[in-house]
Amino acid sequence: MEIHFETESLQALGEAATFRLSEGETAHVLHPGQIIAYRGASAGRADRLMDVKGMYRKHKLIRADLTGPCEFIAVLPPGYSLKPVELQTGSDLLYDYRHLFYYTDGVTIQSRILSVKNMLITRDAIKMKFSGLGQIGLLTEGHVVEAALHPSEPLYVQASSVIAYPENARMELAVYGNHLASQHMSYHWKITGLGSVLLQAGRESRKLEDSLQNESLFKRILREVIPFGGVFIK
């Protein structure tokens, strides 16, 4: 499957991606309402009811199965990016199903129940593991960044920015730095293991944008200096 992104469009106004499927290729699109144009045989698109698991995870009822040869254009929400991921043999990454935009034939999906500790911080009970030979597309805020893990040297990553991590990873909630740093930062995952984690780079950009545009210097100083100022001073 070939994907072309419309680089001329402004990220702030949304982005479009053109998908080209060859003969026999099939893509399962979990947000069919984002398809704005289609070229191919009418029978090349078949919308189906998702299974109960898919309905619950995506809060959607319908998925679109598109079979080549065909071409279609899908639009992305403003500020979001689409990241194609080619699955590798032996990959053990666990994903948040809500980020899944499409997957191709040959991809199998298994659910993994999280520990109670992880449920509390992620507000999610299940992560999904994709395996097989194929491709998945992740819809994320901003671009996707890949960070390597080390078996003993921890990597601290902001909990809300993580979109995928290895099943073998050892994770615990933590903060780091001196007293002032740890007091004002959001919770992070302290991760060790093999492989890498995937992060969405735009998750916190809106906070910075609001800070630069709307906050006075005095209010910003108060938020940073006063304990829990970020909570009480809006």
pLDDT in tens, 37-64: 999 999 999 998 876 455 545 555 789 9
Q: For residue 202, give every residue at least 6 positions away whose Cβ sits within 8 Å of its Cβ, in sequence order, or none.
A: 79, 81, 140, 141, 142, 143
C-alpha span between 198 and 179 (Å, rounded):
28
- Mean local confidence (pLDDT), 156-168: 89
Q: For position 183, what pLDDT does the model report?
A: 79
pLDDT at 112: 81
Helix (H) or strand (E) holding 208: helix 205-214
Q: Tell me, yes or no, whether 171 lies in a domain.
A: yes
CA–CA separation, 218 vs 131, rounded Å? 51
Residue 100 burial (CB count, 10 A): 22
- The b-or-e profile of 182-218 (16+ CB within 10 A means b, else e) is eebeeebbbbbbebbbbbbebbeeeeeeeeeeeeeee
Q: Tell me, what's the pLDDT at 91?
A: 82
In a domain, 182, yes or no: yes
Q: Which structural domain range is residue 151 located in? A: 142-226
Number of domains observed in the structure of the chain: 1
Q: Report d(CA 208, CA 218) in Å as an integer.
A: 16
Structure tokens at 73: 């254009």
pLDDT digits (tens, 9 = 90+) for 178-196: 888 887 788 889 999 999 9
CA count, 13 A, side-chain hemisphere, 5: 13
Residue 191 lies in a domain: yes
Q: Is 86 inside any structural domain? A: no
In a domain, 50, yes or no: no
**Structure-model confidence comparison of residues 186 and 147, the more confident one:** 147
What pLDDT sits at residue 60? 59
Q: Please say whether the beta carbons of 91 and 38 come within 8 A.
A: no
Compute the average pLDDT of residues 146-161: 93
Q: Is residue 59 part of a domain?
A: no
Q: Domain for residue 214, yes or no?
A: yes
Torsion angle defined by CA atoms of residues 137, 138, 143 and 144, in that order, rounded to the nearest 10 degrees:
-100
**Cα(34)–Cα(32) distance, integer angstroms:** 5
- pTM for this structure? 0.76
